[in-house]
Amino acid sequence: MSSKGVSLDYVNSIVYDLEKAFWDERGMGARFRVTTVGRDYFLDKCLPRIEIREVEPIVEVIEQVLQEEGIVAGMSHEMDGKLLSLTVQGCLHEKVEQGLMAKGVEPFTCIPANLVVLAIEETLDRPVELAEIKVEDGACHLLLALFESRPTFD
C-alpha cells in the first residue's frame, strides 16, 4: 500500500458494493446481520472512554469520539422513555446511503448507530434495536429502541 493512504471515495465504493451485495442476498434480513459492524473500533476507541454507566453520558462519549475522529461533522441525541433518537450530520458514509437509496434500497445499517448500540449493550447489558433509519435534509435520523436489562440468574 502506498504511504498516502486510501481515498474516502474508494472506501465508500467498497462499502457500497458490500452493502448492496448483502441486500441483494438477504433484503431487509441484512439489517439483523450487520449490527456488530464496528465492534473492533468500539472496543479500541470508545469503550476505554466510557466512565459513567448511564445511557446519555454513554451516547455523548460516542458523539465525541466520532466528531474527534472526523467520522461525523455533528451528532445529537434525544431520549424519550425507551426511545433514543439520533441525528447524524456530515457522516463519511453518507454517499453509501445515497447510492443505495438511488437504487431503491432502503438504508439498513449505520456505523454511528452501531457504536451507540454496542456501547449500551456492552456497558449496561441492555438490548438495543436500530428501529428506523431516515436520510433527510443531509442528515441521518435514527431511532433506537432500548429494552430492559437482561435478567441474571445469580
Please indicate, yes or no, if residue 153 is contained in any of the structural domains.
no
CATH number of the domain residue 21 falls in: 3.30.1380
Please indicate, yes or no, if residue 57 is contained in any of the structural domains.
yes
Please indicate, yes or no, if residue 151 is contained in any of the structural domains.
no
Please indicate, yes or no, if residue 102 is contained in any of the structural domains.
yes
In angstroms, the CA 110 to CA 34 distance is 9
pLDDT at 153 over 80: no
Residue in this structure with the C-alpha cell 433506537, named with its chain if needed? 144
| 12-27 residue pLDDT tens | 999 999 999 989 999 8
Burial 122-141 (b: 16+ CB within 10 A, else e): bbbebebebeebebeeebbe
Name the nearest CA neighbour of 117 among 48, 19, 37: 37
Contact indicator for 55, 120 with CB cutoff of 8 Å: yes
Please indicate, yes or no, if residue 29 is contained in any of the structural domains.
yes
Contact indicator for 116, 59 with CB cutoff of 8 Å: yes
Q: Which domain range does residue 68 map to?
A: 8-146
Please indicate, yes or no, if residue 154 is contained in any of the structural domains.
no
pLDDT of residue 75: 97
| 69-127 residue pLDDT tens | 999 999 999 999 999 999 999 999 999 999 999 999 988 899 999 999 999 999 999 99
Q: What phi-psi label fits residue 5: left (phi over 0), alpha (psi between -120 and 50 degrees) or beta?
A: left
Q: Is 86 exposed, middle or buried (0-12, 13-18, 19+ CB in 10 A)?
A: buried
Please indicate, yes or no, if residue 130 is contained in any of the structural domains.
yes
Please indicate, yes or no, if residue 152 is contained in any of the structural domains.
no
In angstroms, the CA 2 to CA 18 distance is 23
Longest dimension (CA), the chain: 53
pTM above 0.85, yes or no: yes
Number of domains in the chain: 1
